[in-house]
Amino acid sequence: MARHIYVHNPFCARKCPYCDFYSISKTSLCENFYKAAVREAELLGSVISEQDGTNPLTDACGRDTVYFGGGTPSLPDSRLVCGLLTAVRKAFNIASDAEITIEVNPSSSDPGKLTEYLQAGFNRISLGVQSLDDEVLRTLGRLHDSKGAVDAIEKISKAGFTNISADLITGVPGETLDGIRKDIQTFKDLGVKHISTYSLSIEEGTPFFERYKKTIEDLVPPEEERAMYHGTREFLNELGYETYEISNSALPGFKSIHNSSYWNSCEYFAIGAGAHGYLGDMRYGHRDDVEAYIEEMNTITADAYKAFLEGNKSGLKSLYAEEMLGREDKMREVAFLRLRTTDGILLDEFKKVFGIEFDDVFEKAVKTNIAKGLLERKERTLRLTRSGLDLANVVIEDFL
Ligand code: SF4
């Protein structure tokens, strides 16, 4: 049985203008937040049973994983972050071969912190580079420049990490495919094993929405953005990075086990304000409110936490149920999560879990998208074609 835990650090030095993740810059709350998170890990550890944290697709869930995301987990004092990891490992009895990731920002990649992360058990770093072009980084409002990002990768390697991932954002006004290719080549030369490439999305409520809501398609026409996506993917593949999900590519042996657990519908626990989890039939989360989180974790009893996980949601400030999933919801989730992966939907596995053929449930969506050339059947798998990848959201919509 594999366990997966997502920990959300809700602090950032400053808000990037395109970001709609939950984060605040009031770092005076860090100390109390981390204490509360340790208590949450201990409470969870005391109330979960051996069965919790597994799922119908058990074989697909691989090894235990812990993922510290954010926000900027590398911002707070490493004593707090490492203390929380120690509590999580103990409370969940995390296996010694677990994949344990921390997201690091180049502007807070201090060598001393990196060494402490390694000693505490982190064995994978996900670095938020976004670009190695200073002009693009300025547009994105990032705190680091390209030299800072390259230095950060070198420091991470020097500290002893071998499993390093870097994020890139594509479709930023002023960005070119040539520039992205250069960035990827630099990553390869520096020993980066995993690359995530996300298309810039203009989210309502962000400063970017105000700045670009009317102009983004003039600045980066959709066909140019798609050509950039394909060009990026082809170059990654040429360099040996295998694309295993729409936004993720890795050298052999370095796929993210934690992220794969999401696409395999594995269950995972959520720790921290703004964290989301999935357990049994429930998708749940903590509200985007650090103060409510601290208060709740300092006062909630083990019985009340257990009752929440079992479906009693009354009277809680931070924890809330987002969605209760029935059998059909779960089938739809398998469809839209697995379609994001290059392995696609494994038809035998679907039949084994749900006792029915995928085609019998989604007959119309399958037939229509195969006829349009967006979906292809290879033996007992169904996956997006190259054109399907361009229209992934439209295809997925047909399965919802
Ligand atoms: S550092 Fe990351 S999480 Fe924080 S504001 Fe910027 S993009 Fe968002």
Decide: helix, strand or coil at residue 391.
coil
Nearest partner of 261 among 67, 396, 73, 397, judged by Cα: 67
Q: Which of 11, 19, 20, 108 to mutate to test the pocket of ligand 1 (most atoms within 8 A of CB)?
A: 19
Mean pLDDT of the chain: 93
Distance 346 CA to ligand 1 centre (A): 35
Assess contact for 361 and 264: CB atoms under 8 A.
no
Residue 58 pLDDT greater than 80, yes or no: no
Looking at the predicted structure, is the pLDDT value of residue 314 above 90?
Answer: no
Q: How far is the CA of 2 from the centre of ligand 1 (A)?
A: 29
* 8 A C-beta contact, residue 235 and residue 209: no
- Per-residue model confidence as pLDDT tens digits over 212-240: 888 888 788 888 888 899 999 999 999 99
**Residue nearest atom 8 in ligand 1 by C-alpha distance:** 19
Give the DSSP H/E element, type plus range, for residue 182.
helix 177-189
Instruction: Supply the DSSP string of 168-181, one letter for each residue.
Output: EEE--TT--HHHHH
143 CA → ligand 1 middle, Å: 10
Taking the centre of ligand 1 as the mean of its atom positions, its distance from the CA of residue 216, in whole angstroms, is: 21
User: Distance from the CA of 132 to the center of ligand 1, in angstroms?
Assistant: 17
Q: What domains appear along the chain, each with residue ranges and CATH number?
A: 4-263 (3.20.20.70), 328-397 (1.10.10.920)
What residues flank ligand 1, with Cβ below 6 Å?
Answer: 12, 15-16, 19, 21, 23, 70-72, 105, 128
Mutate which of 9, 16, 208 for ligand 1 pocket (most atoms within 8 A of beta carbon):
16
CB atoms near residue 325 (< 10 Å): 17
pLDDT of residue 111: 96
Distance 72 CA to ligand 1 centre (A): 7
How much is the pLDDT for 2? Answer: 80
Q: Is pTM beyond 0.75 here?
A: yes
pLDDT at 109: 93
CB 150 within 8 A of CB 132: yes
What atom of ligand 1 comes closest to residue 130's alpha carbon? 7
Place 390 in a pLDDT band, splitting at 50, 70 and 90: confident
Separation in Å, CA 232 to CA 154, 237, 288, 331: 23, 9, 34, 32
Q: What is the pLDDT of residues 140-192, one digit of tens each?
A: 999 999 999 999 999 999 999 999 999 999 999 999 999 999 999 999 999 99
